Chains A and B, each alone.
Chain A
Amino acid sequence: MTDTRTKYSFYVEQRALEVADRPRKFLEAFAAVLEHSSYHLPLDTYSRASVRCGRCAAECQLYESTQEDRDIPCHRSELLLRVYRRYFTRSGAIAARFTGGFTLTDDDLDEMAEAYYRCTACRRCKLTCPVGIDHGLITHLGRWLLAETGIVPKALVVATRAQLEGVGNTSAIPVAALRDTCEFLEDEIRETYGTDVKFPIDVEGAEYVFFPAVSDYLLEPDTLMGNAAVMHVTGGSWTIGTGNFDGINYGLFYSDRMMERIVRNEVAEVRRLKGRKILIGECGHATRSAWFVPTFCGPDAPPVVNFLQYTARQLREGRIPLKADRIEPRVTYHDPCNIARSGRITEEPREILHAICRDFVEMTPNRTENYCCGGGGGTVSIDEIRKFRTGPMGRRKAEQIRATGARLVVAPCANCKKQLKEVCEDNGLDDVEIVGLHDLLLKIIDFDSVRPIGPVPAGDERDGSAAATGAGA
């Protein structure tokens, strides 16, 4: 069998190398997407209005590191825009008739494949584009079209297959193992904190149906215990559904087709359990993809709440008793691009951190302008590009962390956490620990002063700007 990494810097499935007539397939997919989705307008506007000023490069952490032309966001977007112009505009067709023009080849597809997986679609460059070009949108679309041509990193497609056609989640955790894990976590809390905290499973009629990144059940028990503890002390009505307990949605990273199916499965589980809201755990892309629930399931679909929003509201209302102790080591906060770039979730985690930390410092820049961890856009799952992720892509983040002098970096996102751990390992930040926000909160919750409380009044934790920021902005 051929080593499928010889063609790209990431592994693809063997069948991807056997696809024939790829340019034609790419163009057919392009035509179908233009007809049935909403990409026509931005492509048309961008291909007319792009002024090629180069401002995007000044804000791209990858270009800062590599200084390679292929890493200039505008250059990368042009790889797709030129295909659009040539094959899907009248002026492009006329120009091609006279000049021969550009013809899409296999090499062009390979160049796009490499370019669109060197970009994490963090969308930082959009903030500084005078014309407002959303290069992240172009990367998003480019990846989908490549996927329809067979080109998609093996790590992403294997996980999605397990979720949609296998066990039902990306980590292939069977329901029995989920139950065992939840029982283990309950025992762990009981032993450590002397409190009976429940992980309710398949409870019908709960207000919240919980979807963390399923990998948290394997890798981030402290985060989950923190989540459950908050629900316990606030009297929150929540459940984990055995029909679907995975918030991960790699469709966001390579295919709207997959994304639509995964989002609908989430909503189906909430409806099966007669739940009222979707509660997403500490995960950036799971949250952002769930923000597409109204897109795929209509305005009457269950509202989406991120756990940070829930906890911040409960803390604000005095429903989370805290010990007098505070987290002593210096703490900093990493804003996951998928929840912070739009400005949609930036203040809630800070409210919580200010309440529980003695020495909280900000990274610079932060909030909407924060640097990507370097593993965004699903690239963190591609183990074979670790050297790239933690090197040119992650170096800026490592410098940002080092400059804070923090011992603890809070990253409320499963993907960011994995990536930042590797960034720290590979950049000599050995004394830095990457943690979730609820991991820290768990240590400060005062279980002894928890009084029996009535049910939490129905509320809306969605930030006031939820409707004011949209899924994409």
Chain B
Amino acid sequence: MHAWVEWARGPAFTFCFCFMVLGLVRHVVLTMWEVNRTMRRAGDTSLPLAAIGRATVRWLLPMDTIRHDVVFSLTSVVFHVAILIVPLLLVGHIALWARGLGVSWPGIPNGLSDVLTVLAVVTAAALAVQRVTARVTRAISKPQDHLLLLVLALPFVTGFLVMHPSFNPFAFDTAMFLHVMSGNAVFLLMPVTKLSHAVLLPGTQLVAEIGWHWPADSGSRVAAALGKEAESV
């Protein structure tokens, strides 16, 4: 099993992590390229950058939006904060980066990591329950919406077991293998599922505005393409 763990956090991790980084970079680059192309063609090239910036910050730091649906919003915010902070700032993870690439950064105390890990699992479970029980989310959810919550929770459950052997019913290597592979699975899924909102979100308010910035002759060109220039209304 130990060899499997080494494989999981060696070549498997390298592949999955690179896949994620390249995939997300591709999203960002393509979005920026398309933003540029759209605005170059647009008849009205003025953009309300201040308003777009305000809306973007409002949703990246959604403090004043929580009032609308307090329980769901708070759950969601805590979930996002926990799943972003723990993988990046866990001391054990930073040590691995230091060993592999020689780079490191300050971490958070393990006690805080534990609290955030538990919060990540609990809020993931709460979001899963909400998705199934609330009428609206049940109606619009696809299978991947449920599965992704499970996949996202797995590295945190298994990570907690790795960190706390007294709670771990499995062998250490088994738990570690599951932990690393579930993390790898998240990396693989990031660019190809809705998890890509992790990098697309900062641009969505800009995209919404740009969608209304059409080329000056867009209507005429569509008419020509459809052979309807001479067609009556």
Contact = CB atoms under 8 A, between A and B. Distances in A.
Interface of A: 28-29, 32-33, 35-42, 44-46, 48-55, 57-59, 63, 67, 69, 72, 74-75, 78, 91, 126, 128, 130-134, 137, 148, 157, 160-161, 164-165, 255-261, 292, 294-299, 342-343, 465, 467-473
Contact of B201 (A33, A49, A91): A49
Contact of A78 (B50, B140, B207, B212): B140
Given A294-B44, A296-B43, A343-B51, A49 B218 contact: no
B209 A470 contact: yes
Contacts of B135: 67
Contacts of B218: 36-38, 256, 260
Given A53-B76, A465-B51, 8 more contacts: A36-B218, A40-B34, A49-B194, A52-B145, A258-B219, A260-B220, A294-B43, A295-B216
B202 to A, nearest CB: 10
B227 to A, nearest CB: 10
B163 interface: no
B107 interface: no
Interface string B24-40: 00010001001100100
Contacts of A133: 204, 208
Contacts of A131: 59, 197, 200-201, 204
Nearest to B134: A54
Nearest to A166: B233
B210 A38 contact: yes
A54 to B, nearest CB: 4
Contacts of A29: 222, 226
15 contacts: A32-B221, A35-B221, A37-B222, A41-B34, A49-B196, A52-B141, A54-B137, A55-B69, A72-B139, A74-B140, A260-B219, A261-B219, A468-B49, A470-B46, A470-B47
B48 interface: yes
A42 B205 CA distance: 10
Nearest 4 A-B pairs (CB), nearest first? A472-B212, A260-B219, A54-B136, A42-B211
- Categorize the interface residue count of chain B: 35 or more
Given A51-B197, A295-B216, A32 B222 contact: yes
Given A52-B137, A67-B135, A45 B213 contact: no
Contact of A161 (B47, B139, B200, B233): B233
B91 to A, nearest CB: 31
Interface string B130-146: 00001111011110010
Q: Is the interface of A mostly helix, strand, loop or mixed?
A: helix
A57 B69 CA distance: 12
B147 interface: no
B214 interface: yes
Interface in B114-168: 134-137, 139-142, 145
Nearest to A263: B219
Nearest to B200: A49
Interface in B172-225: 192, 194, 196-197, 200-201, 203-205, 207-223, 225
B10 interface: no
A162 B49 CA distance: 39
B99 interface: no
A467 B215 contact: no
Given A38-B213, A260-B220, A299-B45, A148 B226 contact: yes
B51 A38 contact: no
Contact of A128 (B68, B192, B228): B68
Contacts of A469: 48, 51
Contacts of B42: 38, 295
A52 B140 contact: yes
A135 to B, nearest CB: 10
B48 A41 contact: no
Contacts of A299: 44-46
B95 interface: no
Nearest to B127: A53
A295 B45 CA distance: 8
Contacts of A75: 139-140
B104 interface: no
